[in-house]
């Protein structure tokens, strides 16, 4: 009976038809908005997290007597139990060495303060492959070389390009009145979209930092750890702090960039709020449509009751019909929502201001799991919201209903 009501031509031209169309449209719009909110919200969180991790790792281990500034002050030995194989540290999948030193790039017409990051052959270049816009990544697996990776922002400020030679000056750690220089060659340009890093970072062979600081070959500035599951970073960070020696200190990037990650956490609240509002709007529209359907079919309800149908069996007719309408709205919502997200994912039609959002375009995260959960949750919540108004059927009396005009 629910199928016959839904497919009846007279039903499609009835008074309830426009109300039902509005209800379906509300579900479609709500589904599209929820999918966009989740996909772009999670996508933005992941992109920013990946960029911060690319420059810092997920957990940083340094000397306990130093600080986590942009200059490695007191070195630590590479000969630790957890290096180069981090299996002793639970939840850690990769570890690499690094060292930071402040410097100044000087050209014939310009100069710029920079943070020179020294890395070794074990450095994870995965993220920088996506950031690379010109040239190639440097290779530090062999002998000491002068190759550097420079941000396009600094290159534009200094008038540099791939293949150019550049002089960088550093303060002597033993004699603060004296500057030491190093000549480098730009082999690649990167753009992460994270201006805090693009404005100051360049990557060199860590052996340059060791020589500038007069360190021994096994002395470095810090270890950078990457965790297997970023959602567990705080737990892993606490475990790492307990496992490393008393002369070492550790810090997660959530702690180092506390304000940034607090802002990212607010996105979860915004997503939840958006989902709640959209489901509420869709549910209210479906309640309105159900009430109109019941009133429009009052005579049919009276006849069915007169023939002995129970209230629950009649309610099921309208609930089944509502399920059909909800399903129809979800179907079109998925088609439009996934379609728009795929367009953004592959054609990047919606740009963002990197100074505000740290990315140049709205990132998209597509996963079958959250799509199915969103559909199932919306369907069930809307259906639950319809159970109460369906009780109206029990208040209809057969005699009055049959004579209802």
70 versus 330: the higher-pLDDT residue is 330
Place 405 in a pLDDT band, splitting at 50, 70 and 90: low
At residue 148, the pLDDT reads 95
The mean predicted confidence, pLDDT, of the chain is 88
400 Cβ contact list (under 8 Å, min separation 6): 302
Q: How far apart, in whole angstroms, are the C-alpha atoms of residue 254 and residue 264? A: 10
2 versus 59: the higher-pLDDT residue is 59
Residue 225: pLDDT over 90: yes
Note whether 38 and 337 are within 8 A (CB): no
At residue 97, the pLDDT reads 95
Q: How far apart, in whole angstroms, are the C-alpha atoms of residue 44 and residue 38? A: 10
Summarize pLDDT for 243-294 with one digit per residue, the tens: 888 889 999 999 999 999 999 899 999 999 999 999 999 999 899 888 888 8
Q: What number is the average pLDDT over the span 296-310?
A: 84
| Span of 1-15, 60-74, 329-343 with lowest mean pLDDT | 1-15
Q: How far apart, in whole angstroms, are the C-alpha atoms of residue 308 and residue 369? A: 45
Separation in Å, CA 24 to CA 167, 198, 324, 385, 392: 65, 47, 10, 15, 22
Written as one string, the DSSP assignment of 11-24 is: HHTSTHHHHHHHHH
At residue 234, the pLDDT reads 93
At residue 34, the pLDDT reads 95
At residue 99, the pLDDT reads 94
The separation between the first and the last C-alpha atoms of the chain, rounded to the nearest angstrom, is: 21
168 versus 359: the higher-pLDDT residue is 168
Residue 354: pLDDT over 80: no
Place 230 in a pLDDT band, splitting at 50, 70 and 90: very high
At residue 130, the pLDDT reads 87
Place 309 in a pLDDT band, splitting at 50, 70 and 90: confident
Name the region of 91 (left: φ>0; alpha: ψ -120 to 50; beta: rest).
left
At residue 13, the pLDDT reads 58
Token pair recorded at residue 16: 């309830």
At residue 278, the pLDDT reads 92
């Amino acid at each position: 009976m629910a199928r016959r009501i839904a497919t009846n031509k007279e039903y499609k031209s009835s008074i309830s038809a426009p109300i039902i169309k509005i209800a379906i449209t509300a579900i479609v719009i709500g589904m599209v908005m929820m999918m966009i909110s989740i996909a772009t919200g999670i996508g933005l969180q992941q992109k920013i997290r990946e960029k911060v991790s690319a420059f810092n790792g997920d957990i940083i281990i340094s000397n306990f007597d130093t600080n986590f500034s942009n200059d490695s002050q007191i070195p630590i030995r590479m000969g630790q139990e957890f290096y180069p194989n981090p299996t002793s540290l639970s939840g850690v999948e990769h570890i690499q060495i690094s060292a930071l030193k402040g410097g100044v790039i000087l050209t014939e017409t310009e100069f710029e303060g920079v943070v020179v990051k020294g890395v070794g052959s074990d450095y994870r270049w995965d993220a920088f492959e996506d950031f690379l816009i010109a040239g190639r990544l440097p290779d530090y697996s062999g002998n000491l070389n002068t190759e550097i990776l420079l941000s396009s922002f600094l290159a534009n400020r200094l008038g540099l390009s791939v293949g150019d030679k550049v002089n960088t000056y550093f303060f002597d750690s033993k004699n603060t009145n004296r500057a030491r220089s190093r000549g480098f060659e730009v082999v690649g340009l990167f753009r992460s979209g994270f201006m805090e890093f693009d404005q100051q970072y360049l990557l060199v062979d860590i052996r340059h930092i060791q020589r500038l600081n007069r360190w021994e070959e096994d002395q470095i500035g810090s270890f950078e750890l990457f965790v297997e599951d970023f959602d567990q970073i705080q737990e892993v960070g606490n475990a790492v702090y307990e496992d490393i020696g008393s002369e070492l200190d550790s810090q997660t990037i959530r702690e180092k960039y506390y304000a940034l990650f607090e802002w990212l956490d607010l996105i979860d609240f915004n997503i939840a709020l958006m989902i709640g509002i959209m489901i509420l709007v869709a549910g209210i529209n479906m309640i309105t449509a159900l009430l109109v359907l019941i009133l429009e079919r009052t005579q049919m309800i009276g006849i069915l009751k007169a023939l002995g149908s129970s209230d629950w069996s009649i309610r099921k007719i309208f609930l089944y019909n509502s399920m059909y309408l909800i399903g129809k709205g979800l179907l079109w919502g998925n088609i439009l929502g996934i379609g728009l997200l795929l367009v953004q994912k592959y054609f990047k039609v919606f740009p963002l201001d990197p100074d505000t959002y740290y990315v140049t375009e709205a990132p998209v995260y597509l996963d079958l799991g959250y799509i199915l959960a969103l559909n199932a949750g919306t369907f069930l919540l809307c259906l639950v919201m319809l159970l109460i108004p369906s009780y109206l059927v029990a208040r209809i009396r057969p005699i009055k209903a049959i004579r209802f005009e």
